[in-house]
Amino acid sequence: MTRLKLGMVGGGQGAFIGAVHRIAARLDDRFELVAGCLASTPERAAASAAGIGLPRSYDTYQEMAKTEAALEDGIDAVAIVTPNHMHAPVATGFLKAGIHVICDKPLTAALDDAKALQDVVAASGKLFILTHNYTGYPLIREARDRVARGDLGKILQVRAEYLQDWLAEAPPPDQKQAAWRLDPAKAGAGALGDIGTHAYNLACFVAGQQATSLAAEVSASVPGRQIDDTASVQLRLDGGARGHIHVSNAAIGHENDLSLRIYGTKGSLSWRQEAPNEMRLARFGEPVQILTRGSGAVSPAAARVTRVPPGHPEGYLEAFATIYSDASDAILAANGTTLPPDHHINTVADGVAGMEFVSACLASSDNDAAWVDLT
Amino acid sequence: MTRLKLGMVGGGQGAFIGAVHRIAARLDDRFELVAGCLASTPERAAASAAGIGLPRSYDTYQEMAKTEAALEDGIDAVAIVTPNHMHAPVATGFLKAGIHVICDKPLTAALDDAKALQDVVAASGKLFILTHNYTGYPLIREARDRVARGDLGKILQVRAEYLQDWLAEAPPPDQKQAAWRLDPAKAGAGALGDIGTHAYNLACFVAGQQATSLAAEVSASVPGRQIDDTASVQLRLDGGARGHIHVSNAAIGHENDLSLRIYGTKGSLSWRQEAPNEMRLARFGEPVQILTRGSGAVSPAAARVTRVPPGHPEGYLEAFATIYSDASDAILAANGTTLPPDHHINTVADGVAGMEFVSACLASSDNDAAWVDLT
Amino acid sequence: MTRLKLGMVGGGQGAFIGAVHRIAARLDDRFELVAGCLASTPERAAASAAGIGLPRSYDTYQEMAKTEAALEDGIDAVAIVTPNHMHAPVATGFLKAGIHVICDKPLTAALDDAKALQDVVAASGKLFILTHNYTGYPLIREARDRVARGDLGKILQVRAEYLQDWLAEAPPPDQKQAAWRLDPAKAGAGALGDIGTHAYNLACFVAGQQATSLAAEVSASVPGRQIDDTASVQLRLDGGARGHIHVSNAAIGHENDLSLRIYGTKGSLSWRQEAPNEMRLARFGEPVQILTRGSGAVSPAAARVTRVPPGHPEGYLEAFATIYSDASDAILAANGTTLPPDHHINTVADGVAGMEFVSACLASSDNDAAWVDLT
Amino acid sequence: MTRLKLGMVGGGQGAFIGAVHRIAARLDDRFELVAGCLASTPERAAASAAGIGLPRSYDTYQEMAKTEAALEDGIDAVAIVTPNHMHAPVATGFLKAGIHVICDKPLTAALDDAKALQDVVAASGKLFILTHNYTGYPLIREARDRVARGDLGKILQVRAEYLQDWLAEAPPPDQKQAAWRLDPAKAGAGALGDIGTHAYNLACFVAGQQATSLAAEVSASVPGRQIDDTASVQLRLDGGARGHIHVSNAAIGHENDLSLRIYGTKGSLSWRQEAPNEMRLARFGEPVQILTRGSGAVSPAAARVTRVPPGHPEGYLEAFATIYSDASDAILAANGTTLPPDHHINTVADGVAGMEFVSACLASSDNDAAWVDLT
């Protein structure tokens, strides 16, 4: 199997998510990282590239897009792991150069940029893959499959939480991860953008429904903070379910506690990202079952994205690697191969949906938490 | 120590909560059950009394109130365990006869009745004790104590859930517990009254705050059901916290799953009624601690209501017994003894607050889940 | 239903288990405590009796046995809650007076005393009920029932642990509970007698098998301690299973952590006393099930000893109360009524078996942990 | 950073552990797989190599060792992932060719082979790294570090379990993983070799002690099985602790359930491989703490082998990757660089210790589970 050639923009020294993308791309041996513009100054870009033994390093992403597009063995796709406000310009540059894009979430810092980018993607004819990495967990695939085939009956309630506590206090000024995430100009929204879009995407992915309207209580826990760190959101979904999303990065006692519960007329399921190898499955009048990743009880959709047997825990990096493996399948399919069954990628449309969620939450919050329609 | 004399109205053969009250009253040996009107017909009342060896059985609660008030060794208090709509008339009868009342929740089926009863209580000068039994758990006392002394800092979020699944499908017509709870005339509200008032009371009890406004999504999961079985409620509390309450008796996979989480600026706590002997306690930047009932780490407020050492689980009946022991302390104090420190009872005011919560939720629901002020 | 009349020896002020027995006897309203000799000096006995409002208090147990036997309305049974070495003489006194005995465990401090008491019981024709209270948990009844009906197939492994940490350090000299338990003359054995007999009894009760031989590593964790605090015991059982028992009251991090696992050729079960309302049930090739106390999935044997629905946790006192309710059934049956189905009491034979277990463990330990046969 | 060149023997199509080694070697980007002899016939070897895009494939491991040793850019190390009985001959071949060896466990099928191999390693001057992958978990490093620095006081008890159920029934004859593991000629021992060596290694690694003697109950659960599937082993350790190891691959309800508990005079810790991102830590008289991987509370030894923040679960593959990263550090150090602090590899001596454990268990079992000394 030939490995695809991957480039990266962002992810230089001191960054968190760039290193995660590199491991994820490498884990299943479907990509080879060959080029990058890892930082926003030429010096740091070069040093970062040298630090990871990257063959080709560029001073600017514009130069990188142009050069790679012209190379015989140029990159097949670029991974964009910059702060949010740079996603759209970088993606636009590579898409216009004819290069597929794999982009971190949220899609952009502002909804308008998201919609504009969606047009660019459509015009380009290239793939745009948004890394909502939590959809890569095998038991999330299982959950989606069970909902889709009616195992839980008609869906009544969809409830997701995503709680962290790393911003429960004002961070030190030199903490790079925090700095741009707390700056409205670079991040757009706070917890809503950073983790709220994940929770909303996951809920919709599994439930197979999208919100039609919402009402959001949005708040900041630290005096002087310019951006939201907590939101409690009521949802109404287009399939008739009610929903609720609670996100915070100021909820002390939680590290990266994304969880999902789905209640239907015939059963329910419950899953937590911090213990991702099992899912509680309930049917009315029967003992609750503990469904484990990789066991004989899971569906082909889940088994396809599993590497090791049950009891050998897979985690965050493996789920992220599945996003990259699904991306490689999509890229190969764009070149003519057949997509495997149960294949899934998040697209620019999912990214726009996420930004509409954020935008509606902020609009609701500005109107005393009244209901707001999503389009 | 002399035992107080207790009477009971309701709780005849086939009832659930009456038997619970009797065990609770007996467990700590503070009460002796001596009289009752256990059912609404003389025949069933007499048979029920005989079945439990009750010394004095009455055909009607009116007769019972009158007769017991006149007896030299008449009852000190009456426990009312009828369906909701009968709480007010029965309580009124005994209060006017000069007998203390211990009453199951919710206070009434309708808010007007609750307010009227509050006036009756005030005029009577007698005790009215509402059995919000979940406040009797030692670790709930601990939680309240920690919040009150500032252990969690300023409270930001208060979140309670109370989920059951026994009404996830339409019950058989002959199921007595379900029949009156699904009848709007007898129950007033559905899940909101039956378990929502518990969740709201518990949240306020621990947080030391009351709601000033709320917005509620209320629904019924079973076609044709005349009463709510599910509600998702946003709260704003008078101490500045935001809150959320989620209740359902149609959430498959949950038996009696009442849980509470409190987030503050310095820490958080989390507790589940189904595993009531431990509480998760988090402080920013430190490992989460598992605090156990009865251990040396709990406060005097919690230790006072504990019977056996940690590791020897206490449960629902013990928590309920604490309500009765606190009631006996209150009755003795009404006769001149001193209340112990950290003593607590729920009063008619808590009952009115619960009914205002239910009423506001239904009003919000009738107005498309808009915000409604509580008075 | 008429309540039986109960007496008590031991359980005076400052005692732990006496108060537990009193609550247990009272909880299901099957007994009325009317007489006692609660302490070993007349002054403390009288003060203790007054403290709990006991009608008849005696200076000595001998006087109590003689007087109660002669009373028209004398006690039906006596509960013995003294230190271990007094069980046999007190029990003998009451049995010879024709009074049924309910006795705390272990049966005696020495095996010879246990065997002699067994003869006394046989000669008396009276009931001797040993309070192995953990057999009163509904899910333990369920476990036993499932093993007995072959639900797990042929039993391969039986593993019990009983871990505490209250004696991990030398206790203060004035701690009454510790003082006699650490005195070989009064306790006989340490952890082996106090909690090892519980673990062994529970394992045998559920597995339906008894040990034929064992090999035991026995140790003391605190310098200078005269008695065992830890034991790790290999077992061979008469039904062909292998077994293992690990007990310690010096295992830091455990409060009263009794647990049991049974592995068979078709399935397994796992249960922990500190979370007694659920049991893990596994069958080969199927998802693990969480079986809850009181749910529709449990057998009549478990349902019979359940008071409140699933999700309303029952605990230590309820399980202990079941021992007393089963005792009352046995006493009534001795007077001619019919025992209910699935009725169970632990007898003097179970007590002798426990003492043989302790004795064999100590003999093995004295012989470098070699195998020792049980008779 | 230059990647080391890796070869592989074994791990062809249908194998489990070979693919795991390849992911592990790749995850941290420290190795590049360039050569292999992936199967025992030339045809399957070539097909397997082609399937993963391997540059150089050999028909025999002898040819591979000879050729690679002579190449300018030949492999730095070979990973051996064959059935147990082939470890020694393959390792010997590469060591004699001057190539470092990374080898799966157990070291060999027979103890004599293990000792002979130990001599070969010593004579070669090359590295021999045994992949006891569970030592790669960050919280296992943390546990070892805490024991070593006295955080738990003097160690009293060391207890490990490793339970699986995949062999609870006789497997289908065509199941490749099971076939050689159930063949005494290829596997040496059954559960004792396959998982017992892991449990024993992990216990010794964390406790910092080795067994001096043991007594083992060994059994097979399936009629006709020629090899052990269950063992319950008592240990005495050279640091004064007692120990116990329980392993089975016929324990229904367990997937890959390796767990470890260490009790000391000051505290205890408890860890489960299936939930590897947290560890329970207890100190006498304090609430139990939940220590999480990657949090600020862990030591540098644990932090060094962590990739992503707490709450982002790492699992089996990450722990295995740490074994490879530690191997790469060791290989680089053999070439003159400095080993990082807290670096660890398992060596051939650990492999011999594992085989002595297996051998002693079988000897004990053959002598009615009597005590056997380890040398």
Q: Smallest Cα–Cα separation from D269: which of D154, D132, D147? A: D147
Say yes or no: A291 contacts chain C, CB-CB below 8 A.
yes
Q: Check pLDDT > 70 for residue B1.
A: no
Q: Which of A165, A312, A318 to mutate to test the interface with D (most CBs of D within 10 A)?
A: A312
Question: What's the pLDDT tens digit per position in A16-31?
Answer: 899 999 999 999 999 9
Cβ–Cβ of D274/A313 closer than 8 Å? yes
Please tell me the predicted confidence (pLDDT) of residue C173. Answer: 82
Please tell me the predicted confidence (pLDDT) of residue C181. Answer: 81
Please tell me the predicted confidence (pLDDT) of residue D173. Answer: 82
Q: Comparing C105-119, C172-186, C258-272, which segment has the lowest mean pLDDT?
A: C172-186
Say yes or no: D290 contacts chain B, CB-CB below 8 A.
yes
Question: What's the pLDDT tens digit per position in A238-260?
Answer: 999 999 999 999 999 999 999 99
Q: Check pLDDT > 70 for residue C1.
A: no
Give the nearest chain D residue to B286 (CA atoms): D297
Q: Which amino acid is at D249?
A: N
Question: Under a CB-based contact definition with an 8 Å cutoff, are residues D247 and D163 in contact?
Answer: yes
Place of tokens 């609770």: B24
Cβ–Cβ of B295/D289 closer than 8 Å? no
Helix (H, G, I), strand (E, B) or coil at A338: coil
Q: Which of C151, C290, C291, C293 to mutate to test the interface with A (most CBs of A within 10 A)?
A: C290
Question: Under a CB-based contact definition with an 8 Å cutoff, are residues C78 and C7 in contact?
Answer: yes
CB neighbour list of residue B170: distance below 8 Å, 6 or more residues apart: B222, B224, B225
* Residues 157-216, chain D, touching C (beta carbon < 8 A): 157, 159, 165, 168-169, 215
Say yes or no: D281 contacts chain B, CB-CB below 8 A.
yes
Q: Which of A280, A286, A288 to mutate to test the interface with C (most CBs of C within 10 A)?
A: A288
Taking contacts as CB-CB distances below 8 angstroms, the residues of chain D near A175 are none
Say yes or no: B369 contacts chain A, CB-CB below 8 A.
yes
Cβ–Cβ of D215/C369 closer than 8 Å? yes
Say yes or no: A275 contacts chain C, CB-CB below 8 A.
no
CB neighbour list of residue B71: distance below 8 Å, 6 or more residues apart: none
CB-based burial, A46-60: b 16+ in 10 Å, e otherwise: bebbeebebebbbee
Q: Which of C289, C291, C299 to mutate to test the interface with A (most CBs of A within 10 A)?
A: C289
Say yes or no: A290 contacts chain C, CB-CB below 8 A.
yes
Cβ–Cβ of D250/C159 closer than 8 Å? no
CB-based burial, C139-168: b 16+ in 10 Å, e otherwise: bbbbbbbbbeeebbbebbbbbbbbbbbbbb
Taking contacts as CB-CB distances below 8 angstroms, the residues of chain B near D288 are 289-290
Q: What is the pTM of this model?
A: 0.97
Q: Smallest Cα–Cα separation from D157: which of B43, B228, C249, B104? A: C249
Q: Give the mean pLDDT of A303-316.
A: 97
Cβ–Cβ of D312/A313 closer than 8 Å? no
Question: What's the pLDDT tens digit per position in B202-232?
Answer: 999 999 999 999 999 999 999 989 999 999 9
Q: Average per-residue pLDDT in chain C?
A: 96
Q: Which chains touch D (3 or more CB pairs under 8 A)?
A: A, B, C
For residues A130 and A123, what is the distance between their CA atoms, to the nearest angstrom? 17
Place of tokens 């007329």: A265
Partner residue facing D221 (CB), from C221, C265, C270 = C265
Helix (H, G, I), strand (E, B) or coil at A367: coil
| Residue, of C2 and B273, whose pLDDT is higher | B273
Q: Smallest Cα–Cα separation from C127: which of C307, C318, C317, C339? A: C339
Cβ–Cβ of D156/C219 closer than 8 Å? yes
Cβ–Cβ of D313/A27 closer than 8 Å? no
Say yes or no: C308 contacts chain A, CB-CB below 8 A.
no
Say yes or no: C217 contacts chain D, CB-CB below 8 A.
yes
Q: Check pLDDT > 80 for residue B2.
A: no
Using pLDDT thresholds of 50, 70 and 90, give the confidence band for residue B15: confident
Taking contacts as CB-CB distances below 8 angstroms, the residues of chain B near D297 are 286-287
Taking contacts as CB-CB distances below 8 angstroms, the residues of chain A near D20 are 308
Please tell me the predicted confidence (pLDDT) of residue B179. Answer: 81
Give the nearest chain C residue to A286 (CA atoms): C297
Give C122→chain B minimum CA distance, Å: 34
Q: Smallest Cα–Cα separation from D140: which of D352, D301, D351, D264? A: D301
Half-sphere exposure of residue D330, counting CA atoms within 13 Å on the CB side? 21
Give B223→chain A minimum CA distance, Å: 11
Say yes or no: C280 contacts chain D, CB-CB below 8 A.
yes
CB pairs under 8 A between A and C: 26
Which residues of chain D carry a pLDDT beneath 50? none
> What tokens does C191 get?
């952890």
Cβ–Cβ of C232/D230 closer than 8 Å? no
Cβ–Cβ of A27/D26 closer than 8 Å? yes
Say yes or no: A60 contacts chain C, CB-CB below 8 A.
no
Give A253→chain B minimum CA distance, Å: 5
Q: Which of D151, D288, D293 to mutate to test the interface with B (most CBs of B within 10 A)?
A: D288
Please tell me the predicted confidence (pLDDT) of residue B254. Answer: 98
Please tell me the predicted confidence (pLDDT) of residue D188. Answer: 78
Percent of chain A topping pLDDT 70: 100
Compute CA distances C184 → C226, C227, C355, D219, whole Å.
7, 6, 14, 37
Question: Under a CB-based contact definition with an 8 Å cutoff, are residues A142 and A148 in contact?
Answer: no
| DSSP single-letter state for residue A346 | B
Cβ–Cβ of A29/D27 closer than 8 Å? no
Cβ–Cβ of D281/B295 closer than 8 Å? no
For residues D81 and D93, what is the distance between their CA atoms, to the nearest angstrom? 14
Question: What's the pLDDT tens digit per position in C265-306?
Answer: 999 999 999 999 999 999 999 999 999 999 999 999 999 999
Taking contacts as CB-CB distances below 8 angstroms, the residues of chain D near B291 are 287
Cβ–Cβ of B252/A244 closer than 8 Å? no
Please tell me the predicted confidence (pLDDT) of residue D339. Answer: 95
Question: What's the pLDDT tens digit per position in B127-185?
Answer: 999 999 999 999 999 999 999 999 999 999 999 999 999 999 998 888 877 887 888 88
Give the nearest chain A residue to B243 (CA atoms): A232
Q: Which of A1, A17, A23 to mutate to test the interface with D (most CBs of D within 10 A)?
A: A23
Taking contacts as CB-CB distances below 8 angstroms, the residues of chain B near D289 are 287-290
Question: Under a CB-based contact definition with an 8 Å cutoff, are residues D128 and D331 in contact?
Answer: no
Please tell me the predicted confidence (pLDDT) of residue A184. Answer: 82
